[in-house]
Amino acid sequence: MTRTPIRLVSGAFFAASLFFPAIIQAQGPAGSGGREIQTEVQKADPRIDQVIERANDHFRKGKLNLEDNKRYEARDEFDKAVDEVLTSGLDVRANQRLQTFYLELVERIYREEVPMIQTAPQQQQNATPVVAQSAPNANAEKVEVAQVQEPKPVQIGFRQQEFEPSPLDALSKLILNDDEKKVSDQEIAALEQAKNALDFNFTLNPLVQQYINYYQGRGRSTMEAGLRRSGRFMKIARDTFRREGVPEDITWLGQVESAWIPKNVSWAGASGLWQFVRGTGTQYGLRQTAWVDERNGIEKPTAASARYLKDLARRYNGDWLLAMAAYNTGALNVDRAISRAGEANYWKIYPYIAQETRNYVPNILAVIMIAKNPEKYGFHSIRPETPMAFETIPISSSTSLRLVADATGTSVDAIQALNPELRRDVTPRGESYNLRVPSGSSKQLASLLKRVPSDRSDSTRVISIVPGEDLQSVANRTGVSVATLQAMNGGVDLKTTTRLLVPNSSVRLTNWKRSATPESNSQPALTKVRARKGDTIAKIAAAHKLSADEVARINGIAPNVELPAGQEIKLPGATATAPATGSRRR
């Protein structure tokens, strides 16, 4: 999904996802807020004046608090300003004046909370190549110096996350065309047969087939992307829903809510895989602080979603279609529609609910039917992504994700993808945090973190070295003094270690290369193989009858970490002139 380049909408997403208040009865904020028939909203101008006046009053108080550096009080007033609009009982989208005010309000809040990006002063640094004065052996010839890293901008405000628009925003405006509305009796009969394979009962309606038609045509790319991305989260979702007593097939609600993108946010500030607003998230135990927003996490919001759906189903005597409708538009709106229809049946209340919710429930049912048998509906050879694989390790306060990435041989992006609830590239201050890390890397990480002083966990990096490389060589190619290296790595055996701690600032990241001389070609050298999908250092070492620990030490990668397909792995015990085809993986 492409991020919108329009700053106003981006600001609205950004601010609304942080400051939206509690709406206890309404979950799906993309369709939440008390909805009335449009004509009733249009007649409510005096009420709109009152809502705008109260919201502006809270905004002014919030701005005064922010000027006095009372950040939490300011956020509370900004919450109340938005709360005045969303809990007013008016349909924000149905009234142009109220919608315009609302979008301008969240933009103003965004401007107040994140007034600017300040860039830290750049230090004068020498970026010219450095030739090593000393090296592990006589064949060491040169050192390549990478680009000097620019200082990261300092963010002023509450958060540093980036978000993508929720698919619910487009869904609310979707209008089926004439071809998509064509449904035959044979298709309905086939659907009746197919729904027997689902793990919950419901009354079928031609709208379900119409949305299947949509996904087979102009919505195909959306469906294919969802089927692929679902593989990453579906095992966790199914296990959680089953444990909570919710039909597992309803996990496909996640595709309609977020397209399986954890950092999706709707126009009204619902966030995460399961699109919780702030109030409902808090109600179901999801923390939202300056450091973490658990709505954007994995296990906790999935469990919260299952519990919320179960509570709604209990409210409607086990009717899962009404539960899904209430998940989107709020239980009070469903109650009101039931009162008008005179019957607690989704297809009976259909004329009395918002357009988005009319699209929402049959859309989910269509996705479920396709997902149960993709080939039947023309979705061939769609391979779901590999399920998330991780270990959880307690991490001390304010630990840099860059340090974690260095220590586990991954990237900051990879660590953030495993922990999407983190708002910054550092773990929460003042508390131990259970961080997800790649499978097989927790022991190596724990061992390295023991060497990092608690007051340096946010300012330390890990670099790789060649076993036997001396500190002067490392100093020459990193720009870190020998004294600093000694102070940060006391007691480390340079003959065996592949990792050293260095300060986070002013480090030149370098690659050490050996010269390719005739003498070196006759000496034992390292050969290279390419990892296949699913390979680890341990698997490759076993295939070549080598020590996994030795191969891991040479490559600076934990033995059991899954390797990206195609990654080059160095192997010892061969000569540079030996043919590589016998051992190289392709």
Q: Which residues are catalytic?
A: 257
Residues 6+ apart with CB under 8 A from 85: 33, 51, 55, 92, 98, 101, 102, 105
Residues 6+ apart with CB under 8 A from 524: 572, 573, 574, 575
User: Residue 280: how many CA atoms within 13 Å on its side-chain side?
Assistant: 33
At 133, list the tokens: 């004065």
CA dist., res. 279 & res. 29, Å (int): 10
* Alpha helical stretches, state H, 508-579: 518-521, 537-543, 548-555
Strands (DSSP E) found in 296-431: 390-395
- Rounded to 5°, the CA angle 483-484-489 comes to 100
Among 136, 231, 220, 145, CA closest to 180: 220
The neighbouring-strand residues paired with 62 are: none
CA dist., res. 87 & res. 26, Å (int): 9
CA dist., res. 539 & res. 546, Å (int): 10
Q: Any idea how long the chain is?
A: 586
CB 279 within 8 A of CB 22: yes
The kind and range of the H/E element at 54 are: helix 45-67
